[in-house]
Amino acid sequence: MNTNSEQFEGRWDRVKGQLRQQWGDLTDDELEEAKGNREELIGKIKQKYGDTKESIGEKVDQIMAKVN
């Protein structure tokens, strides 16, 4: 596991609230399925909202930076 993945998992509980503010249609189950896995999370958001992976990735990174 790389450092980014470890950091992502370590902040997951705090990140979930921010993710819900950004993408309110994400379910608890979806968030738990993607827990700590940035790429899986991006895929779930892309599937539900249709945004580009790049756009979603930037927003996820912004959320992570705020929680850090």
pTM for the whole structure:
0.78
CATH number of 3-67: 1.10.1470
> 33 to each of 1, 66, how far by Cα in Å?
18, 22
Residue 51: both structure tokens together = 């945004």
Measured distance CA(57)–CA(60) in Å, rounded: 5
Q: Could you report the per-residue pLDDT of 11-31, keeping only the tens digit for each?
A: 777 888 899 999 999 998 999
6 vs 31, more confident:
31
For the cut 80, the answer to whether the pLDDT of residue 40 exceeds it is yes
Mean pLDDT of 44-50: 95
